[in-house]
A and B are shown apart, each in its own frame.
Chain A
Amino acid sequence: MTARPLEKYMKADAIRALKSGTLVLELGAFSTRVKLSDRRSVAFFLDMYADCLVTLGDCALSDFSLTVRPPNQFRKYFRHQVVPDPGFGFPAAPLPVSMSPLALEMGLNLSVALQCFRYAIFHAGVVAEGDQALIIAAKSGGGKSTLTAALMEEGWRLLSDEFAILDLEEASLRGYPRPVSLKNASIDVVRGFAGKDQVSETLHGTPKGSIAYRRPRRGDIERMALPARPRVIVFPAFTEGAAPRCQEIDLADTAMQLIASSPNYQVIGERAFTGLMTMLDGMKAYEIEYGSTEDSLALVSDLWRSHVS
């Protein structure tokens, strides 16, 4: 069965497939069977994943299977709640149905983080110029997603907002261009430069505050199969009012931080170790601190020019 962009299907067929669990999302290296039970997550999926390749039907194979469903029958009717169900036991707190897009995105993250063993996964955003990648390593509140979204506006292609997916044979990074998760103040910042149409409705009052998603662009989807060789890694830190600052950090420390951020490094073991060491060979790593998006872009641009261009 050949995958086609979601928007090429009749909307009614896509909705029926999402509700019956017969839609398979083909994104990057993974295929995921998705089943959704409520209107809001269905509308979110149809909008944010419109350019993504999907197949409809029972016979498509998939790597993962994700259901967003009520935690029990009672919660289907009274104070409607949902949980992401990636097919294995996971202690996910039920969310109000109004936050079902968050449950969907959490579920997709869980599927890759805890069920993928072909690739080493590190918690980081990745953007690329051609086949040269920049890793934006996560630190809580550091501004990873805001910087990722800002770099997209500068012409970088999105490989992933959430995971650096390391091909262990080639030491290259694979694309998994899903919506970029924005939190709190960064939502309006990204709406400002990307445009309102590119950002989803805001979900208020989630466990992480307000959340909205910046959609991947068609070009990101079309080029997702092009792997990228990582050249520079940055550890961003947004500090209100801070002057821009950049400091090179030791690759040994970088390795340990990446290992600590990985959900599957210990499981994969030796191949993950060898792949990570090969990936780091020749890379440069920096901590960058900034107080504005403009400053972060200038810092990254300078680093990139000095090492890659």
Chain B
Amino acid sequence: MSAGPNSDDWVWVVDPDHFIIYEIGDTTFVFSRLSGTTHMLNLVSRAMLDFLTGKPKTLGEVVAGFADYLQVPKEECPSGVVRRLFDELDDVGLVERILP
């Protein structure tokens, strides 16, 4: 998690070794091995997790590419929503910043 505002140039990734996932219906449960905390994700948050799993991206790339990844028009996936979604995953430590 970043202590201050995220920069669009920082590189982020999701490391699948750091958590385990179970799905119950449309809900994904994620147990973080780093924090010992259980998280409940909806479909969109889960998609963000998959988008970043093993594929490092800058926040700018996440914002630019997430709508295409979901296969929805960009106007249905505004950048503010994508950034908030990313921040939520960052807040709970499910995304990790790495050196470029």
Contact = CB atoms under 8 A, between A and B. Distances in A.
Contacts of B31: 269-270, 273-274
Interface in A245-299: 250-252, 255-256, 259, 265-266, 269-270, 273-274, 277, 280
Interface in A146-171: none
Most buried by A among B20, B37, B38, B40: B38
Contact of B38 (A250, A251, A273): A273
Contact of B24 (A252, A266, A270, A273): A252
Interface string B23-37: 011010101010011
Contacts of B37: 266
Contacts of B27: 250, 252
Interface residues of B, number: 12
Nearest to B41: A252
A252 B40 contact: yes
Contact of A270 (B20, B29, B40): B20
A277 B39 CA distance: 13
A54 to B, nearest CB: 37
A280 B24 contact: yes
B40 A256 contact: yes
Interface residues of A, number: 14
Contacts of A250: 24-25, 27
Given A252-B29, A266-B36, A274 B24 contact: no
Contacts of B25: 250-252
B98 to A, nearest CB: 24
Given A252-B29, A273-B29, A277-B29, A259 B24 contact: no
Contacts of A270: 20, 31, 33, 36
A259 B38 contact: yes
B58 to A, nearest CB: 31
A250 B42 CA distance: 13
B20 to A, nearest CB: 7
A265 B29 CA distance: 15
Top-8 shortest CB links A-B = A252-B27, A277-B22, A273-B31, A251-B24, A269-B36, A252-B24, A273-B38, A270-B31
23 contacts: A250-B25, A251-B25, A252-B27, A255-B40, A256-B40, A259-B38, A265-B38, A266-B36, A266-B37, A269-B31, A269-B36, A270-B31, A270-B33, A270-B36, A273-B20, A273-B22, A273-B29, A273-B31, A274-B20, A274-B31, A277-B22, A277-B29, A280-B24
Given A251-B24, A259-B38, A273-B38, 19 more contacts: A250-B24, A250-B25, A252-B24, A252-B25, A255-B24, A255-B29, A265-B38, A266-B37, A269-B31, A270-B20, A270-B31, A270-B33, A273-B20, A273-B22, A273-B29, A274-B31, A277-B22, A277-B24, A277-B29
